[in-house]
Amino acid sequence: GAVVSQHPSRVICKSGTSVKIECRSLDFQATTMFWYRQFPKQSLMLMATSNEGSKATYEQGVEKDKFLINHASLTLSTLTVTSAHPEDSSFYICSARGPGRGNGYTFGSGTRLTVV
Amino acid sequence: DQQVKQNSPSLSVQEGRISILNCDYTNSMFDYFLWYKKYPAEGPTFLISISSIKDKNEDGRFTVFLNKSAKHLSLHIVPSQPGDSAVYFCAASAPGQNFVFGPGTRLSVLP
């Protein structure tokens, strides 16, 4: 079945630094990937839709200059949290859309970001 | 405007009994529906799907029912097991469109 690898699974960084999270589709090409954020005991919040070779589409309220998304190939999308602050600490999840609707989107295992 | 709603944020069920998770949608163009299961600190995993040409799809202990006229679907888990404790998301899509996810329902199966 389709697999999406998300790396790293956990990261701790200092305030003011940047962190990059990678999302790879391992056995299929994903023209569209999605980035979500989940706060404790809350639902998934869609941050942006990433399309290969074009600019990401950000949801309302999400700062595109803070959360940089790059989808340079059909199997890789990256999310960079720039100048991280403690309030950026959260669980970030990516998903990828495969060629058909079949099983919907395949999700990565998530990245726990802690900014200290 | 929330197109996919899961009005119960949480549900508790005794082990061995039936769990029923509900989902309502507003977009009549939606024709494909999914349920995902999510454990803490993990990404959601696909559970079961249903197309609008069907009103029921069954996979082991999991059955999804679709009522198109009511724009309602439900996920039945029977018998419920402690390992089923998780957050369940329903999602819907129209042809050629991205999936829209509901806010999730946290299921707790009590031993």
Per-residue pLDDT reduced to its tens digit, B41-78 = 899 999 999 999 999 999 999 999 999 999 999 999 99
| B45–A contact, CB cutoff 8 A | yes
Task: Supply the pLDDT for residue A102.
Answer: 78
Radius of gyration in angstroms for the set of CA atoms belonging to chain A, rounded to a whole number: 13
Nearest-5° angle of CA A101, CA A57, CA A30? 35
CA distance B90 to A26: 25
Task: Supply the pLDDT for residue A2.
Answer: 83
* Closest alpha carbon to B76 in B27, B2, B11: B11
Tokens 């009522």 correspond to what residue?
Answer: B67
Interchain pair A44, B32: CB under 8 A: no
How many beta-carbon contacts under 8 Å exist across A and B? 49
CA distance B108 to B81: 9
Interchain pair B103, A91: CB under 8 A: no
Task: Supply the pLDDT for residue A27.
Answer: 87
Take residue B9 and report the two structure tokens written for it: 């944020």
Using an 8 Å Cβ cutoff, are B6 and B22 in contact? yes
pLDDT at B26 over 80: yes
**Helix or strand or coil: residue B93?**
strand
Helices (H) and strands (E) in chain B, counts: 0, 11
| A50–B contact, CB cutoff 8 A | no
Minimum-distance CB partner of B42 among A32, A97, A110: A110
Interchain pair A43, B103: CB under 8 A: yes
Tell me the pLDDT of chain A (116 aa) as tens digits: 788 999 999 999 999 999 999 999 998 888 899 999 987 777 789 999 998 888 999 999 999 999 999 998 999 999 999 999 999 999 999 999 876 777 789 999 999 999 99
Take residue B10 and report the two structure tokens written for it: 């949480």
Q: Average pLDDT for residues B69-97, to the nearest whole number?
A: 96
Q: Average pLDDT for residues B68-94, to the nearest whole number?
A: 97
Instruction: Return all residues near A73 (Cβ < 8 A) that are at least 6 apart.
Output: A52
Nearest-5° angle of CA B76, CA B101, CA A50? 145
Interchain pair A43, B104: CB under 8 A: yes
Tokens 């949480």 correspond to what residue?
Answer: B10
Chain B residue whose CA is closest to A36 = B43
CA distance A26 to A48: 21
Distances A60 to A11, A73, A87, A100, B32 between C-alpha atoms, Å: 26, 25, 18, 27, 26
Take residue B37 and report the two structure tokens written for it: 């299961």
